[in-house]
Amino acid sequence: MTDTRVDGRVLRGERTRRAIIERAMDIASVDGLDGLSIGRLATDLDVSKSGVITHFGSKEELQLATVRAAVEVFTQHVVRPALEAPAGMQRLWRLCELWLDYERGIFPGGCFFANVAAEFDARPGRVRDAIAQSQLDFRALFERLIARAAEVGDLPADVDAAQLTFELKALGTSANGEFLLYDEPAAYDRARAAMLARLRGLATDPSLLPLS
Amino acid sequence: MTDTRVDGRVLRGERTRRAIIERAMDIASVDGLDGLSIGRLATDLDVSKSGVITHFGSKEELQLATVRAAVEVFTQHVVRPALEAPAGMQRLWRLCELWLDYERGIFPGGCFFANVAAEFDARPGRVRDAIAQSQLDFRALFERLIARAAEVGDLPADVDAAQLTFELKALGTSANGEFLLYDEPAAYDRARAAMLARLRGLATDPSLLPLS
């Protein structure tokens, strides 16, 4: 009886924590991590301020938890499904496509990371470090998939993985920014077309890639 | 005598206004336009809050004046000197190089516009409109220089100016973000190398461009 009640409380606490984080990710994708306030979250979710503070302590902890949760969302929608494609060019291209889909489809303010990276890039501290790490992990994933594509012979053995990663990431990141700033869905098409042209130009077997 | 005194007051007012704007641009390049507060500017510059309010009225007016001033800085450091290069590929390449120089060298938080565009892109209003317009103007400039390069025969007549502009802008913008987030000056070299490779691949006379 007591155990059940305790479990219920733990579960409700976990649900509240989850609801706060979901709302925090949506807010941060539009207004940035500075847009998160304990008061705003409490009002939006109809919980007490002390309820929010119990879960996260400080604003910085809340910001860090929000970044971690966004990494999980990204892993679930982009990284894991990309890794299900056959190793090599197909996996690399799947990553590009899923990333563009995520930018368009998941958060109200477009890519969570693009927004908070620009917000914190010049502001040293734990939040910047967490954001930078998430971006370094994504970059490392791109580089690994490019190296693997070279290993299986889908890309030339001497491909510069760091340079190609920079270029593909630049295109995808800019699509997000231009779409949001100008309400221009064409930015995603431009990014996709440029990524595809770049990869087709390098591929040993372009037929592994779509024609357009 | 009276006229001199009035002129002196006007001049002092103009100097104060200019000092506020200079400080506001530096702050916004690091902390965003939301990082601007009347109180902070008054403290930083050792003027009264009412002195700041006299010049700008509201925070929104201050943000708009800051965006306008940053456009002037960009025009002075990038646009005008680029237009001094010979029309065609040389002018287009000069624009790329001056842009990368500006990102590195002018504001403490890197590119002013990259920072505030990410901050406001999902927040409709006059500030977002002013930022979007500045970016549209820069994009239009790129497209004009590409079209001109095609006219003088330095690029193929059927070059897709909008697509090429998107790609060059994506590379330059990402260099700024990666440099700030990872303290990696190599990002500028990657952006420059990719821009150069793209333009050399399209150029009718690659000798108008540097080898590396």
For A56, counting Cβ atoms within 10 Å of its Cβ (0-12 exposed, 13-18 middle, 19+ buried), the class is: buried
Interface of A with B in 134-173 (CB under 8 A): 135-136, 162-163, 166-167, 169-171, 173
Q: Which pLDDT value is given to residue A61? A: 94
Chain segment B178-211, per-residue pLDDT in tens: 888 888 889 999 999 999 999 999 999 999 999 9
Q: Is the pLDDT of residue B4 over 70?
A: no
Chain A residues touching B198 at Cβ < 8 A: none
What is the arithmetic mean of pLDDT over B118-128? 90
Q: Which of B167, B188, B196 to mutate to test the interface with A (most CBs of A within 10 A)?
A: B167
Q: Is the pLDDT of residue B7 over 80?
A: no
Please tell me the distance from the alpha carbon of residue B115 to that of residue B181, in angstroms, as a whole number.
12
Please tell me the distance from the alpha carbon of residue A45 to that of residue B198, in angstroms, as a whole number.
49
B3 pLDDT tier (thresholds 50, 70, 90): low
B75 pLDDT tier (thresholds 50, 70, 90): very high
A103 CA: distance to closest CA in chain B (Å): 13
Chain A residue with minimum CA distance to B33: A119
H or E element, residue A71: helix A59-74
Q: What is the amino acid identity at position A135?
A: Q
| CB-CB under 8 Å, B121 with A177 | yes
B153 CA: distance to closest CA in chain A (Å): 23
| Residues present in chain A in total | 212
Query: What's CA B57's distance to the chain center, in Å?
Result: 25
Is residue A123 a contact partner of residue B35, using CB atoms and an 8 Å limit?
Answer: no
**By the CB < 8 Å criterion, does A193 face chain B?**
yes
Question: How many helices and strands (H and E) does chain A possess?
Answer: 10, 0
CA angle A71, A76, A78 (to 5 degrees): 85
**Helix/strand/coil for A160:** coil
Is residue A161 a contact partner of residue A147, using CB atoms and an 8 Å limit?
Answer: yes
Tokens coding A3: 């155990």
Tokens coding A42: 């409490």
Q: Which pLDDT value is given to residue A177? A: 86
| Residues present in chain B in total | 212
What is the arithmetic mean of pLDDT over B12-17? 88
**How far from A34 is each of A105, A137, A174, B24, CA to CA, in Å?**
23, 23, 22, 18
With tokens 């690399």, the residue in question is A92
Q: Which pLDDT value is given to residue B184? A: 85
What is the arithmetic mean of pLDDT over B5-29? 87
Is residue A124 a contact partner of residue A175, using CB atoms and an 8 Å limit?
Answer: no
Q: Which pLDDT value is given to residue A180? A: 83
Chain B residue with minimum CA distance to A136: B182
Q: Which pLDDT value is given to residue B22? A: 95
Percent of chain B with pLDDT over 70: 97
Which of A130, A33, A73, A116 shows the shortest CA–CA distance to A41? A33
Q: Which of A123, A142, A181 to mutate to test the interface with B (most CBs of B within 10 A)?
A: A181
**By the CB < 8 Å criterion, does B63 face chain A?**
no
Is residue B143 a contact partner of residue B165, using CB atoms and an 8 Å limit?
Answer: yes
Chain B residue with minimum CA distance to A125: B181
Is residue A74 a contact partner of residue A133, using CB atoms and an 8 Å limit?
Answer: no
Interface of B with A in 6-25 (CB under 8 A): none
What DSSP line would sit under A164-209, residue for residue?
HHHHHHHHHHHHHHHHHHHT-THHHHHHHHHHHHHHHHH-S-GGGS
CB count in 10 Å sphere of residue B19: 16
Q: Which pLDDT value is given to residue A78? A: 97
What is the arithmetic mean of pLDDT over B101-113? 90
Q: Is the pLDDT of residue B1 over 60?
A: no
**By the CB < 8 Å criterion, does A205 face chain B?**
no
Q: Which pLDDT value is given to residue A194? A: 97
Q: Which pLDDT value is given to residue A179? A: 87
Residues B72, B75, B78, B80: is their CA dihedral positive or negative?
A: negative
Domains and their CATH numbers in chain B: 60-207 (1.10.357.10)
Q: Which of B178, B184, B196 to mutate to test the interface with A (most CBs of A within 10 A)?
A: B178
Tokens coding A69: 């949760």
Residues 6+ apart with CB under 8 A from A137: A71
Instruction: State chain B's mean pLDDT as an integer.
Output: 92
Is residue B194 a contact partner of residue A166, using CB atoms and an 8 Å limit?
Answer: yes
- Sequential pLDDT tens for chain A (212 residues): 456 666 777 778 889 999 999 999 999 998 899 989 999 999 999 999 998 888 998 899 999 999 999 999 999 999 999 999 999 999 999 999 999 999 998 888 888 998 898 888 888 999 999 999 999 999 999 999 999 999 999 999 999 999 999 999 999 999 998 888 888 889 999 999 999 999 999 999 999 999 99
Tokens coding B157: 């007549």
B122 pLDDT tier (thresholds 50, 70, 90): confident
